[in-house]
Amino acid sequence: MASTTTTPNPAATEAPLMISVSGVRGIVGATMTPVVAAQFAAAFGTWLKRRSPGDDFVVCLGRDSRPSGLMINRAASSGLMSIGATVIDLGVVATPTVGIMIDRHNAAGGMMITASHNPIQWNGMKSLNSDGLAPPVDEASQIIERFHKRDFEYVSVHKLQQSRIDDRGNALHVEKVLAAIDPEPIRSARFKVVLDSVNGAGCVAGRSLLEQLGCEIVHINGDPTGQFAHTPEPVKENLTQLATVVAKEGAAVGFAQDPDADRLAIVDENGTYIGEEYTLALAAWRVFKRSGGGATAANLSTSRMIDDVAAKFPGSSVERTAVGEANVVASLKSKHGVIGGEGNGGVIYPPVCWVRDSLGAMALVLALMADKATTVSELVAELPKYAMVKTKYDLSNIGGAAVVPAMLQRVAEQYANERMNASDGVRVDFADGWVHLRPSNTEPIVRLIAEAESETRANELVKSFAACAGL
Ligand code: MG
């Protein structure tokens, strides 16, 4: 295929524009172009305008630090303005900051230019509605349909509005986190903290938060240049530098943000990566400790540790939702949940915002350490130990996505006498573990995740489920 790019990018031909409920994502200069950005923003803007009474509607626009951010931002801004939006340009901010600024400006919605943990070649756009949260599936589908149909409602020149800059996002976000927790015990503890911001959008606010919490900070990869110092997903193999620095510096904890600073991973005081699943468990523990319990929500693929934490506080409840931030938020809203999130290090703390937020998560983990006057490794030791096994299966050779309904049916029948949740694929809970079989929304694959008290048992669960499903 002919290409007009000057630097060949082999991945470009393999990666189509990914369109999903969480937004669009593609490779810059190949599938993610200014044209796509303007059109997706125009589709989103038209959808927002239809929901907003009156002519005047404001949209907050943020971006992560990647080098293509400004280019995509300008295109998205044009798309939004063409529909008649007043665009508030927030500059480089974390995804949750956009949620906070939507509230501040009483905006109709917001957009974040980010490809989250994808490498530097990628960029994308996430939409947030007027409540500052990811639109649920039905609303996201309406935006996607408008984008596909190029169904935009451009305004006449007399109705065009302007764009203006509001660079207070980072400061206001930090202020909101400090107001939502009790910062004094953390300040008194004077923790030494290593923060790895991967040169992403969380650099400025992350550092400012820790400073205002009285921490001694060792900030690595702390310039928001978008030149990611390591593969950006905050998982063990990418955080070896953080682990080394924590051990060398004798720090109390190490935190890693992803490029748009919605996810947080933790390294303990010995320099051991504890796993992303612990972020939500520890944050929830602190919230429950102070509130005495309450409702929480986590998606079906999230560790059972959240149930163990909730069990420490009588009267607490855990609702399991379909995978997707919007589903967790919907449950938190309907049950007045005190905290929720996802096992990938995504903590949603409603007093701050309705978006996964690494800043709120950092503050809550430090607050738990301060309240219990203990170390991260001791907190980890207080929770049951589980092994999680994650696998995926390509369906292209066995009939693609069409085989999924029958597959789920077989599994549901086989395990009909067990505790089951079929709201997103099938999850079955046993006394000593659980398995979740779930089709991807975007690719012809199914994911199979199991958690148990030992890796052997988790593997056994995966094996028996796969056999039953015909994988
Ligand atoms: Mg992210």
* CATH fold for domain 387-469: TATA-Binding Protein (3.30.310)
Terminal alpha carbon distance of the chain: 34
Q: What percent of the chain has pLDDT over 70?
A: 96
The highest-level CATH class for domain 32-167 is: alpha beta
pLDDT at position 397, please? 85
Catalytic residue numbers? 116
- Could you tell me which CATH number the domain at 172-381 has? 3.40.120.10
Domains 32-167 and 172-381 share a fold: yes
Q: Could you read off the pLDDT of 108-131 as tens digits, one per residue? A: 999 999 999 899 999 999 999 998
Q: Where is mean pLDDT largest: 10-24, 75-89, 439-453?
A: 75-89
Domain ranges of the chain: 32-167, 172-381, 387-469
CA of 201 to the centre of ligand 1 (A): 10
Q: Average of pLDDT values for 131-135?
A: 87
User: For residues 375 and 317, what is the distance between their CA atoms, to the nearest angstrom?
Assistant: 27
Q: Average pLDDT of 88-92?
A: 98
Separation of CA 95 and ligand 1 centre (Å): 8
pLDDT of 9 over the 50 cut: no
Which residues, at least 6 apart from 11, have a Cβ–Cβ distance to it below 8 Å? 27, 121
Q: Over 80: is that where the pLDDT of 1 sits?
A: no
pLDDT of residue 362: 98
Task: Count Cβ atoms below 10 Å from residue 442 Cβ, excluding itself.
Answer: 13
Q: How far is the CA of 470 from the centre of ligand 1 (A)?
A: 33
**439 alpha carbon – ligand 1 mean position (Å):** 21
Model confidence, pTM: 0.94
> Of 248-262, 264-278, 431-445, which range is least confident?
431-445
Q: 352-362 in b/e burial notation, b at 16+ Cβ within 10 A?
A: bbbbbbbbbbb
Whose CA is closest to 76, among 107, 106, 39?
A: 39
Q: What is the pLDDT at residue 2?
A: 37
What mean pLDDT do residues 54-62 have?
Answer: 89
Sheet holding 57-63, edge to edge: 18-20, 23-27, 122-128, 109-113, 57-63, 85-92, 163-165
Q: For position 8, what pLDDT does the model report? A: 41
Is the confidence at residue 382, as pLDDT, over 90?
yes
- Whether 3 shows a pLDDT value over 50: the answer reads no
The span from the CA of 466 to the CA of 459, in Å, is: 10
For residues 455 and 437, give the distance between their C-alpha atoms in angstroms, rounded to a whole number: 18
CA distance 268 to 252: 7
